[in-house]
C-alpha cells in the first residue's frame, strides 16, 4: 500500500510537468491560430500600430492577467501569426516583464490593506520593478538596434525544433476542429487561459529546493559577492521560470523573513534574464525563427546590461536602487506617486 | 602584545612608524621593526628605525630591528609568518582606481596573507582616541571586539560598536521593526542583534573601556564609511575576511572594501584559530 503511494508520488511531478508541456504547446498553437483574426482588432480598435503601442499593450495585459509569461508567449504567438512585427513583439515581451512585477506589488498592496506593515508587503514588488525597469531602460534601445541590424537573425534551438514538430503533429487533430468551430479571438483567449494553466502545472511539478544546508544557507546574514548572487538567481530561475518563486526559495532561509539587500539585488538581476526561458521554449515550439530571435535578443540584451552593471558599476547602481527603494516605501504619498507613474507610463506608451 | 612595525622610508610608512611607535609604547610587550632598505633611502630608513627603537627602548620595550631588501609586501608577509605577532602596523599610500589596479596595494596584500591582525595607517593619522568597531552579530565579532577592547584600554580610547542592518523584509509576515530600530531599541527588544550588542558592550565594559552602540540601516559598506566620517573616529576596526573553503569565493570581502574606501586608519582583526567558520568580514 505504502509503496503504491510512493510510486504515485514519484510519478506525480513528472506527470504534471509533461501535462504542463503538452498544454503549453496546445495553448501556443491555439494562440497562433487565433492571433491571425486578432490583427484587425489590434491595429484598429486597440491602435497597436508601433513599438511603443505594443510595449504599453504588453505592459497593461500583464497587469490585467497579473502575470508576464502568458503575455510574453502571446507576443511571440502574435508575431508568428503576422499580427505583430518582430520589433513590436520585442517591445511587447519587454512590457510583459515590467507588468509582471505588478502581481508582487498587488499582493503586497492587499496585505497592506489587511493591516500588514507597508514596507514588508511592498518591498519585493517595488524592488522587482526598479530592477527590471532600470535594466530595460538600456536593454530596450540595445535590442532595437540588434533587431534592426539583424545580428541575431536565423537563430534556432536544435533539440527543440524536432520536439516541437512532433508535439504539433500530435496536437493537429485537436486544434483543427477547434479552429473550425471557434472564432479567432475565442481561440486566442482560450490559448491565454490554457497557457496560464500550464504554468500552474509546471509550478506544481517543480522539485522542492532547499538551500539551508548548502553554501548559500547564510544568504540572509552574510554579504555574498554580487556575481555569485547573480549566477544563483539566473540558475534557480532557469528551473522555476518565475522570479517570485525564486525569491520565495530564499525567504525560508531567514526565520524573520529578512534578506540582505546586497544579496537580493544581483539575485533578481540574474533571475530577470532566465525568467524568459519559458518564452524561448514557446518561440521554439512555434517553429518561427523570428520569434526565437526576438526572445533571444531580449535575453541577450538583459544579460549584457546586467553583466555590465555587475562588473563595472555595481556599487553606484546598488546605492541608487537602495535609495530609490527606501524613498518609495518610506511614505504613503511616495508610494502613491510611484504607483501613479507605473500606471501612467503604459497608457502614455499606447497613446504615442 | 607582540608588534611588527614596517617602514621603507616613504612618507606614508614614516607616518605608520610614527603612529605605530605610539601604539606600541602603550600596548606592546615586544616590537620588531622591519626596515626595508632601498638604495636611495638606506641612511634615512636606518635613521628612522633607530629613532623609533630608541623611543621604545626608553619606554622599557624590547626592540629588534630587522633589515630586509626586496618587495615590501612580500617581506612583511614573510616576517609576519615567521614569528607569532599579534599586530602588524603598516602604512598605505591610498592608491585608488586604475593606479591601484596596475601597481597593487601593499596593505591589501598584507591584510590578505599575514596571519596576524593588521593596522593600516592611512589618511590623517591622529592619536587613536575613538574607535568604531564593526560588529556583524556573528561568531567572529566577539574576537574582533575583544581585540579592539584590549587595544582601546591600552590607549585610553573609547569604542563605538557599529552594527549595520542592510536587510529588507521579504516574507509577507516579516516584522520590519528591527530594520529601522536604533541600537537601544534593538537591545530593549532582545532581538538577535540587540542581544549581541548587549553582550559586546558588557565585554568592553569589563575591559574598562567607555562604550556605546550604534545601529545604522542601509548598505553595509556605505554605512560603515559614513559612520566613520560622520563620527570623526580615529580608527575603524573590522574583522578580517576569514571564510574558509568554497565560501571564501562566494562571500564578499567587505573588509578589503572598507580598507580601500576609508580615509583614516583601519585595523583588520584576524581570528587566528582557523576553525570551520562561516563568516565573511565582520561588518
- Tell me the H-state helices in chain B: 11-27, 42-58, 72-82, 97-103, 106-113, 139-155, 183-189, 192-206, 220-230, 247-250, 254-261
- Domain with B140, as residue range(s), is 130-269
Q: Which of A108 and B159 is assigned the larger pLDDT?
A: B159
Instruction: Judge whether residue B23 has pLDDT over 50.
Output: yes
Instruction: Judge whether residue B280 has pLDDT over 90.
Output: no
Q: Are residues B145 and B87 in the same domain?
A: no
Q: Are residues B231 and B205 in the same domain?
A: yes
Residues in CB range of A218: below 8 A, 6 or more apart:
B247, B251, B278
CB contact under 8 A, B170 and A224: no
Contacts of A262 in chain B (CB under 8 A): 166, 219-220, 252
Q: What is the pLDDT of residue B100?
A: 57
pLDDT tens readout for residues B224-265: 999 998 998 999 999 986 666 667 788 888 888 898 888 899
| B278 has a chain A CB within 8 A of its CB | yes
Cα–Cα distance for residue pair A7/A207, rounded to 1 Å: 16
Instruction: Judge whether residue B187 has pLDDT over 80.
Output: yes
pLDDT bin (cut points 50, 70, 90) of residue A105 is: confident
Closest in B167, B247, B254 to A215, CB measured: B247
Segment holding B217, helix H or strand E: strand B211-217
CB contact under 8 A, A257 and B278: no
Query: Which one of B121, B146, B172 terminates a domain?
Result: B121
Residue B9, domain member (yes or no): yes
Residue B241, domain member (yes or no): yes
Residue B276, domain member (yes or no): no
Residue B277, domain member (yes or no): no
- Compare all CA atoms of chain B with the CA of A108 and give the residue at the minimum distance: B172
Q: Which of A241 and A75 is assigned the larger pLDDT?
A: A75
Contacts of B246 in chain A (CB under 8 A): 215
Give backbone dihedrals phi and psi of A48, rounded to 5 degrees, phi first. -85, 90
Q: Are A54 and A88 in contact (CB under 8 A)?
A: yes
Alpha-carbon separation of residue A241 from A250, A275, B21, B195 (angstroms): 15, 5, 60, 40
Percent of chain B with pLDDT over 70: 89
Q: Are residues B206 and B92 in the same domain?
A: no
Choose among B264, B269, B271, B1: nearest CA to B118. Answer: B269
Q: Are residues B112 and B144 in the same domain?
A: no
Residue B261, domain member (yes or no): yes
Q: Are strands A258-260 and B167-169 parallel, antiparallel or unpaired?
A: antiparallel
pLDDT tens readout for residues B85-128: 999 999 988 666 665 555 558 888 999 899 999 999 988 778 89
CATH of the domain at B137: 3.40.50.620
Residue B39, domain member (yes or no): yes
Choose among A259, A175, A195, A185: nearest CA to A222. Answer: A259
Instruction: Judge whether residue B275 has pLDDT over 80.
Output: no
Structural domains in chain B (count): 2
Q: Taking all residues of chain B, what is their mean pLDDT, rounded to a whole number?
A: 87
Q: Region B12-30: what's the mean pLDDT? A: 94
Contacts of A226 in chain B (CB under 8 A): 252
Residue B220, domain member (yes or no): yes
Q: What is the pLDDT of residue A119?
A: 63
Q: Are residues B86 and B149 in the same domain?
A: no
Start-to-end CA span in chain A (Å): 64
Give the number of beta-carbon pairs within 8 Å between A and B: 105
Q: What is the largest CA-CA distance in chain A?
A: 64
Q: Are residues B134 and B246 in the same domain?
A: yes
At which residue does the C-alpha cell 630608541 appear?
B54
> What is the ipTM metric for this complex?
0.85
pLDDT tens readout for residues A167-182: 778 888 888 888 888 8
Q: What is the pLDDT of residue B279?
A: 38
Q: How many CB atoms lie within 10 A of CB A331?
A: 11
Residue B105, domain member (yes or no): yes
Q: Which of B223 and A181 is assigned the larger pLDDT?
A: B223
pLDDT tens readout for residues A248-296: 888 778 777 888 999 999 999 999 999 999 999 999 888 889 999 999 9
CA atoms within 13 A on the CB side of A19: 15
Q: Are residues B117 and B144 in the same domain?
A: no
Q: How many CB atoms lie within 10 A of CB B77?
A: 20
Residues in CB range of B58: below 8 A, 6 or more apart:
none
Q: What is the pLDDT of residue A166?
A: 81
Amino acid at each position: 500500500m505504502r509503496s503504491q503511494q510512493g510510486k504515485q508520488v514519484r510519478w506525480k511531478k513528472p506527470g504534471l510537468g509533461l501535462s504542463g508541456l503538452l498544454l503549453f504547446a496546445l495553448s501556443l498553437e491555439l494562440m497562433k491560430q487565433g492571433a491571425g483574426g486578432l490583427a484587425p482588432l489590434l491595429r484598429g480598435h486597440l491602435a497597436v500600430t508601433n513599438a511603443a503601442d505594443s510595449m504599453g499593450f504588453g505592459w497593461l495585459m500583464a497587469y490585467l492577467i497579473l502575470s508576464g509569461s502568458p503575455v510574453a508567449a502571446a507576443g511571440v504567438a502574435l508575431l508568428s501569426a503576422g499580427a505583430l512585427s518582430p520589433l513590436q513583439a520585442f517591445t511587447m515581451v519587454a512590457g510583459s516583464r515590467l507588468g509582471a512585477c505588478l502581481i508582487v506589488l498587488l499582493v503586497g498592496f492587499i496585505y497592506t490593506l489587511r493591516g500588514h506593515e507597508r514596507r514588508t508587503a511592498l518591498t519585493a514588488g517595488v524592488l522587482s520593478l526598479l530592477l527590471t525597469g532600470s535594466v530595460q531602460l538600456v536593454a530596450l534601445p540595445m535590442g532595437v538596434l540588434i533587431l534592426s541590424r539583424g545580428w541575431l537573425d536565423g537563430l534556432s534551438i536544435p533539440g527543440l525544433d524536432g520536439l516541437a514538430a512532433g508535439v504539433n503533429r500530435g496536437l493537429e487533430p485537436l486544434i483543427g476542429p477547434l479552429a473550425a468551430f471557434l472564432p479567432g479571438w475565442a481561440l486566442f483567449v482560450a490559448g491565454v487561459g490554457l497557457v496560464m494553466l500550464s504554468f500552474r502545472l509546471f509550478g506544481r511539478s517543480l522539485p522542492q529546493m532547499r538551500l539551508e544546508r548548502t553554501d548559500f544557507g547564510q544568504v540572509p546574514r552574510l554579504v555574498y559577492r554580487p556575481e555569485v548572487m547573480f549566477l544563483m538567481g539566473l540558475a534557480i530561475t532557469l528551473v522555476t521560470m518565475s522570479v517570485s518563486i525564486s525569491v520565495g526559495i530564499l525567504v525560508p532561509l531567514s526565520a524573520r523573513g529578512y534578506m540582505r539587500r546586497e544579496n537580493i539585488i544581483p539575485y533578481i538581476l540574474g533571475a530577470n534574464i532566465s525568467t524568459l526561458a519559458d518564452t524561448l521554449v514557446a518561440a521554439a515550439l512555434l517553429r518561427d525563427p523570428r520569434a526565437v530571435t526576438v526572445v533571444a535578443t531580449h535575453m541577450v540584451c538583459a544579460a549584457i546590461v546586467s553583466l555590465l552593471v555587475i562588473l563595472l558599476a555595481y556599487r553606484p547602481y546598488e546605492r541608487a536602487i537602495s535609495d530609490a527603494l527606501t524613498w518609495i516605501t518610506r511614505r504613503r504619498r511616495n508610494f502613491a506617486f510611484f504607483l501613479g507613474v507605473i500606471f501612467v507610463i503604459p497608457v502614455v506608451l499606447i497613446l504615442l | 602584545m607582540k608588534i611588527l612595525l614596517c617602514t621603507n622610508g616613504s612618507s606614508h610608512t614614516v607616518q605608520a612608524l610614527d603612529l605605530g611607535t605610539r601604539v606600541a609604547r602603550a600596548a606592546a610587550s615586544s616590537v620588531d621593526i622591519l626596515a626595508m632598505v632601498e638604495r636611495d633611502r638606506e641612511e634615512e630608513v636606518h635613521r628612522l628605525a633607530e629613532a623609533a627603537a630608541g623611543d621604545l627602548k626608553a619606554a622599557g620595550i624590547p626592540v629588534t630591528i630587522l633589515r630586509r631588501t626586496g618587495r615590501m609586501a612580500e617581506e612583511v608577509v614573510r616576517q609576519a609568518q615567521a614569528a607569532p605577532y599579534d599586530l602588524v602596523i603598516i602604512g598605505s599610500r591610498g592608491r585608488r582606481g586604475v593606479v591601484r589596479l596596475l601597481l597593487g596595494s601593499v596593505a591589501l596584500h598584507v591584510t590578505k596573507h599575514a596571519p596576524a591582525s593588521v593596522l593600516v595607517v592611512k589618511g590623517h593619522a591622529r592619536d587613536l582616541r575613538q574607535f568604531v568597531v564593526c560588529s556583524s552579530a556573528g561568531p567572529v565579532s566577539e574576537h574582533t571586539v575583544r581585540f579592539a577592547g584590549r587595544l582601546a584600554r591600552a590607549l585610553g580610547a573609547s569604542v563605538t560598536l557599529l552594527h549595520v542592518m542592510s536587510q529588507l523584509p521579504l516574507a509577507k509576515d516579516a516584522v520590519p521593526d528591527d530594520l529601522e530600530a536604533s541600537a537601544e531599541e534593538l537591545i530593549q527588544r532582545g532581538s538577535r542583534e540587540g542581544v549581541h550588542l548587549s553582550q559586546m558592550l558588557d565585554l568592553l565594559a569589563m575591559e574598562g573601556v567607555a562604550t556605546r552602540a550604534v545601529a545604522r540601516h542601509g548598505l553595509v559598506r556605505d554605512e560603515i564609511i559614513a559612520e566613520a566620517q560622520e563620527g570623526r573616529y580615529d580608527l575603524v576596526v573590522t574583522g578580517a575576511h576569514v571564510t574558509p573553503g568554497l565560501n571564501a569565493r562566494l562571500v564578499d570581502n567587505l573588509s578589503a572594501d572598507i580598507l580601500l574606501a576609508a580615509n583614516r586608519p583601519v585595523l583588520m582583526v584576524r581570528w587566528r584559530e582557523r576553525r570551520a567558520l562561516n563568516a565573511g568580514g565582520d561588518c
